[in-house]
Amino acid sequence: MTAPGTSLEHTTVCDLPAVEQAALLRAKELSARELLAAHRARVEALDGVVNAVVTRTWERAEAEAAACDAAAARGEFHGPLHGLVTAFKDLNDTRGIRTTYGSPVFADHVPDADHPVVARVVAAGAVTIGKTNTPEFGAGSHTFNPVFGVTRNPWAPALSAGGSSGGAAAAVATGMVSLADGSDVGGSLRNPPGFCGVVGLRPSVGRVPNSGPGHQHHRMPTHGPIGRCVDDVALGLSVMAGPDPLGMLSLPEPGPAFAPPLHPLPPFDASGPGERTGRPLRVALSPDLGGLPVDPAVRLAVRAAADTLAVLGWDVEEADPPVDGVDETFAALRAFMYASDLGRRLGPEEVRRLKGTVQLEIREGLAIRTDQVADAFAAETELVRRTHAFFDRYDLLVAPTAQVLPFPVEQEWVTVVDGVPMQRYTDWMRACTRLSVTGVPALSLPAGMAQTADGVHVPVGLQLAARPGADLFLLRAAKAAEEALGRLGTPPFGPLLARPA
């Protein structure tokens, strides 16, 4: 049903933001089946190299798209995501669709129920084409596993797409899906979008209820959207967010409160959680999140982006958020999370089949003492209190999404950052993990391109954060920043069309 005179030939519709695809579907200028066919062609053309959509459900997707078109013919639409194409992260259970968690232990696992986020996205009318790749049990910010292999960066296939939502970010960047879901403990909704040149949002704790399997006392794990632009992640959040009677940490605002179109924050309207008006937006620029080593190319890109925001009229000054004790708190809470999840769920023989870093997390988690957990919870509480005080002084925090540029896919994790050795596989991710502990909403926005030491041009992510609960405020600020910085668009497909030998 492509309208005469439009330029939606072949698969170029895949490169439109999800909000524009949705508008075409509702105007009946595009059918759900046409949109699905375009995305399928993109997957089949590019995913032999990228390896983002690792389990595919084309027959189911065709039936869902046909149902969307039949409803549209009657003047009905299934929901805000009617006819849009998605694939779910392989950490989230999908009823009747293989879900491996990236682990050989669960290589043939087919759940009998959807994760609550999956259920909300499906109910909103999305067409499901399968699952996106993730590292084993989401451990580490590089997407590879023994079940499906490695996911490659769509801008530079020899480099990492990040993780653990690397498959999701790469699929969005290449137009294999309209938008995607992801999850984040230490940066998985921020690092992969930063590496792949798209937008990812880690919402406030409780914004997207985490009422799936397992207990809900952990505050660091959360779910959120990945899209091509800020309006796209607002669309995704409008479906994923909202109260859940089974969600112990659930926030009360309804999902549609975050729906696009967003109104960008003007430079002299800082109205937000405190309704402060009549002055410039106060922005804290933290180039290294309190003294972290950062690649010089990343520093340069982040400072250039901050200069652009200052031109908008925003009041930008250097200031670090509270970080004292945050790294130790993250490590203890993460160990407790592994002990109370995989440490209880898997037997010794199953644990021995996992990759070394996951085995290490489980061992440390099972060895953690009660007093260490109590100290970590006390430190977390104090960090949250100090974070609120920080955002009494500043409306927005701007920092690098990742401390490094994308690295070679053969490298399991980054071992050196700007000459400083990393002792652990999560150490190089601290630009993200330091914010995870505090529960703030944080968003990764493309800041432009940078050049690696080998002369390869890759995206750089700019991380924006606001006070806990201020998700809509953050989205509006990010929309204004996006308009100033520009979007990267779709990666060049030349390197992706050549199948590996």
Q: Which residues are catalytic?
A: 89, 164, 188
CA distance 89 to 165: 7
Residues in CB range of 371: below 8 A, 6 or more apart: none
Cβ within 8 Å of residue 75, ≥6 positions away: none
Tell me, what amino acid is at 263? H
CA 152 to chain centre: 16
Q: Which of 50, 86, 79 is nearest to 179 (CA)?
A: 86
How far is 255 from 479, CA to CA, in rounded Å?
A: 18
Query: What's the rounded Cα separation, in Å, for the pair 181 and 173?
Result: 13
d(CA 233, CA 479): 11
The answer to whether 335 and 365 have CB atoms below 8 angstroms apart is yes
Please tell me what DSSP assigns to residue 116. H
Pair of tokens at residue 168? 């999701």
Separation CA 106–CA 279 (nearest Å): 54
Considering only CA atoms, which of 255, 197, 195, 199 is closest in space to residue 227? 199
How many distinct helices (H) and strands (E) make up the chain?
15, 17
Pairing of strands 315-318, 282-285: parallel
Burial 31-66 (b: 16+ CB within 10 A, else e): bbbbbbbbbbebbebbbebbbbbbbbbeeebbebbe
Using DSSP's 3-state secondary structure scheme, residue 88 falls into strand
